[in-house]
């Protein structure tokens, strides 16, 4: 038995969703283009399905519009709606192993990571159920003989478009608050990872969500994505993906004044000051860039190290990187798994080649790892590059792979200037024992999230999102629910007299 067979036999296998998509609560064969995902560890085909076409989207919209107005949903009290979300959370929790297996097959991420993502998705549904049940509305001070208050009401039909890197988590982050807010949701996953949202659909269906309120519509960006952005029935767009597509969507949403949230790319800086705890910083920097094989929007892909500790820090960092276990996603010891796709690996390789041509020095990695296991899949070694200026394209652009650029800085002012001298603004990491300085630096950096002496930690109750080219809007947190609602203000007369402006004859 070869090593691949050993890994394949080491885990429980679950059926992968096949053939059908979920349109307005009905399982059917999509009328669109065929989609094939493969297991990035050995390129075996996960399954075939045909994505949604215009007729399927018409149906999803029609059923969604009806479902959202149906008293069986529209008249539910918050705690009743929440109870369905709690059931979905339970359904996810009871299927963590199955979801993890499907997502690992779809994306190549380790089972350890996909289990954590599935658990976080369950937590997201639970959290928004709790937010919904406990949300308060307040009377506003009136300035006349009337009572005033502002209510949050459902928008109607919401579209959710997600990328391939963490599907179950990003799906839940949109679907849970959108349903909690009383809407119907049309979810479109990436064609590289079409399967997980179909498993989510199965769980949502079993949890008893009224039919029509949720559709899972795999398909291309140019057909399904385009409709979910431009169709007049869609009242709110929630997008996570690349900055270029984000720009297109922003323009289309603006032309209809449709509220849109855009969770986009990043090139997040990590700043290590000379007084940092070196081992903590090394562990955080490595986890920040090489977990998920760097395929993470918040990857700490730009490392700035204070000059006084630069040589010894980088030496230790390189040694620790070489010790990372690159391996099969089913191997519990694996830290760096394959990339999602050969096409994506080629894109990452092109960036590394460009770094070489621009004079960058590859300190470790920079190539495919060698060996039987690695040749079967889309692996790329964790790579560290130095010697490039902050304004070089490799230091500026998102690579979305296991590639870290490292640069020295002399003092706090220079570190902040270098960190801010980038189009993106998603996250940053600051490593220093002087927490007051770390907070000052965090405040000076234009970004959405600041991690101090840690990195890539998340809480569903803490808002997340970017600024600049990393997008706009926030997900998670209490306000995450409100962002899927329309705020409407009411004035109710308390005088019981006609307004004085009219003089009755």
Using rule CB under 6 A, residue 165 touches ligand NAD: yes
CA–CA separation, 379 and 108 (whole Å): 10
Using rule CB under 6 A, residue 241 touches ligand NAD: yes
Number of residues that bind ligand NAD (CB under 6 A): 30
- Choose one: 58-66, 158-166, 302-310, 489-497; the region binding ligand NAD (CB under 6 A): 158-166
Query: x/- site string to ligand NAD, residues 417 to 436, per CB under 6 A?
Result: ---------x----------
- Asked whether the beta carbons of 289 and 277 are under 8 A apart, the reply is no
HSE-CB of 109 using CA atoms within 13 angstroms: 30
| Distance of closest approach, residue 221 Cβ to ligand NAD, in angstroms | 2
CA–CA separation, 501 and 1 (whole Å): 91
Per the residue annotation, which of 197, 297, 378, 428 is the catalytic one?
Answer: 297
Selected binder of ligand NAD within 115, 174, 188, 476 (CB under 6 A):
188
Instruction: From 427, 443, 428, 484, select the one nearest 181 (Cα to Cα).
Output: 484
- Choose one: 15-23, 150-158, 189-197, 489-497; the region binding ligand NAD (CB under 6 A): 189-197
Using rule CB under 6 A, residue 248 touches ligand NAD: yes
- Known active-site residue 206: no
CA–CA separation, 152 and 454 (whole Å): 36
Element (H, E) at 198: helix 196-206
Using rule CB under 6 A, residue 403 touches ligand NAD: no
- Choose one: 2-10, 185-193, 194-202, 352-360; the region binding ligand NAD (CB under 6 A): 185-193
Give, as ranges, the residues between 261 and 320 that touch ligand NAD (CB under 6 A). 263-266, 297
| Dihedral of the alpha carbons of 323, 326, 330, 333, in degrees to the nearest 10 | 0
| Distance of closest approach, residue 346 Cβ to ligand NAD, in angstroms | 14
- Choose one: 31-39, 69-77, 235-243, 321-329; the region binding ligand NAD (CB under 6 A): 235-243
| Distance of closest approach, residue 234 Cβ to ligand NAD, in angstroms | 11
The separation between CA 315 and the C-alpha centre of its own chain, rounded to angstroms, equals 33
Using rule CB under 6 A, residue 226 touches ligand NAD: yes
| Distance of closest approach, residue 428 Cβ to ligand NAD, in angstroms | 14
> What does DSSP assign to residue 87?
H
Selected binder of ligand NAD within 400, 409, 455, 484 (CB under 6 A):
400
Cβ distance to ligand NAD smaller for residue 162 or 183: 162
Alpha helices (H) in 308-465, listed in sequence order: 310-322, 342-357, 372-375, 393-396, 412-420, 435-444
Selected binder of ligand NAD within 103, 110, 240, 392 (CB under 6 A):
240
CA–CA separation, 382 and 355 (whole Å): 15
- Choose one: 140-148, 199-207, 240-248, 274-282; the region binding ligand NAD (CB under 6 A): 240-248
Using rule CB under 6 A, residue 161 touches ligand NAD: yes
CA–CA separation, 469 and 27 (whole Å): 38
Q: Which residue has the tokens 């092109």?
A: 350
Bridge partners of 283, per DSSP, are: none
Bridge partners of 214, per DSSP, are: 185
Per the residue annotation, which of 263, 386, 469, 475 is the catalytic one?
Answer: 263
The token pair that represents 432 in the structure block: 């220093």
| Distance of closest approach, residue 498 Cβ to ligand NAD, in angstroms | 52
Selected binder of ligand NAD within 17, 64, 294, 466 (CB under 6 A):
466
Q: Which residue has the tokens 């807010």?
A: 181
Using rule CB under 6 A, residue 398 touches ligand NAD: yes
Using rule CB under 6 A, residue 225 touches ligand NAD: yes
The token pair that represents 204 in the structure block: 């949502």
Instruction: From 133, 200, 105, select the one nearest 162 (Cα to Cα).
Output: 200
- Known active-site residue 263: yes
HSE-CB of 373 using CA atoms within 13 angstroms: 19
| Distance of closest approach, residue 67 Cβ to ligand NAD, in angstroms | 23
Using rule CB under 6 A, residue 329 touches ligand NAD: no
Cβ distance to ligand NAD smaller for residue 229 or 406: 229
- Asked whether the beta carbons of 67 and 182 are under 8 A apart, the reply is no
- Asked whether the beta carbons of 304 and 263 are under 8 A apart, the reply is no
- Give the SS3 label for residue 395: helix
Using rule CB under 6 A, residue 190 touches ligand NAD: yes
Instruction: From 136, 102, 143, 144, select the one nearest 121 (Cα to Cα).
Output: 102
Please identify every residue annotated as catalytic. Answer: 263, 297
Question: Where along the sequence are the contacts to ligand NAD (CB under 6 A)?
Answer: 161-165, 170, 188-191, 221-222, 225-226, 229, 240-242, 245, 248-249, 263-266, 297, 398, 400, 426, 466
């Amino acid at each position: 038995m070869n090593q691949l067979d050993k890994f394949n036999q080491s885990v429980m296998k679950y059926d992968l969703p096949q053939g059908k998509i979920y349109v307005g609560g009905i399982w059917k064969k999509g009328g669109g283009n065929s989609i094939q995902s493969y297991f990035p560890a050995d390129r075996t085909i996960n399954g075939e399905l045909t994505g949604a076409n215009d007729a399927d989207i018409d149906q999803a919209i029609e059923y969604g519009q009806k479902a959202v107005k149906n008293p069986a949903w529209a008249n539910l009290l918050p705690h009743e709606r929440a109870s369905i979300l709690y059931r979905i959370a339970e359904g996810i929790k009871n299927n963590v192993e199955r979801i993890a297996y499907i997502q690992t097959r779809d994306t190549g991420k380790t089972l350890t990571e996909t289990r954590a993502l599935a658990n976080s998705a369950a937590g997201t549904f639970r959290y928004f159920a709790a937010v919904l049940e406990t949300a308060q509305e307040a009377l506003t001070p009136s300035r006349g003989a009337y009572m005033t208050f502002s209510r949050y009401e459902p928008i109607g039909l919401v579209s959710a478009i997600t990328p391939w890197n963490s599907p179950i988590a990003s799906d839940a982050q949109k679907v849970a608050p959108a349903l909690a807010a009383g809407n119907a949701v049309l979810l479109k996953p990436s064609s590289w990872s079409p399967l997980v949202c179909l498993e989510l659909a199965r769980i949502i269906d079993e949890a008893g969500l009224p039919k029509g309120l949720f559709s899972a519509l795999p398909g291309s960006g140019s057909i399904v994505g385009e409709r979910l952005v431009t169709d007049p029935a869609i009242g709110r767009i929630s997008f996570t993906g690349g900055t270029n597509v984000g720009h297109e969507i922003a323009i289309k949403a603006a032309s209809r004044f449709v509220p849109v949230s855009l969770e986009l790319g990043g090139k997040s800086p990590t700043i290590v000051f000379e007084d940092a705890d070196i081992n903590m910083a090394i562990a955080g920097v490595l986890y920040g860039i090489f977990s998920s094989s760097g395929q993470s929007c918040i990857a700490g892909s730009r490392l700035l190290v204070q000059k006084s500790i630069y040589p010894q820090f980088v030496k230790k960092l390189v040694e620790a990187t070489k010790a990372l276990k690159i391996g099969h996603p089913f191997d519990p010891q694996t830290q760096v798994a394959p990339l999602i796709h050969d096409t994506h690996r080629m894109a990452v390789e092109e960036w590394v080649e460009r770094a070489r041509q621009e004079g960058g020095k590859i300190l470790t990695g920079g190539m495919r790892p060698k060996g039987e296991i690695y040749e079967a899949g889309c692996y790329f070694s964790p790579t560290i590059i130095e010697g490039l200026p902050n304004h070089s394209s490799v230091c500026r652009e998102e690579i979305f792979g296991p590639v870290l650029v490292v640069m020295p800085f002399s003092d706090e002012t220079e570190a902040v200037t270098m960190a801010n001298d980038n189009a993106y603004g998603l996250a940053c990491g600051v490593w220093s024992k002087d927490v007051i300085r770390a907070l000052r630096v965090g405040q000076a950096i234009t970004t959405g999230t600041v991690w101090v002496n840690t990195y890539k930690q998340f809480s569903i109750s803490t808002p997340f999102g970017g600024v600049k080219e990393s997008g706009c809007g926030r997900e998670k947190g209490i306000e995450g629910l409100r962002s899927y609602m329309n705020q409407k203000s009411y004035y109710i007369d308390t005088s019981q007299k006609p307004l004085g402006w009219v003089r009755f004859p």
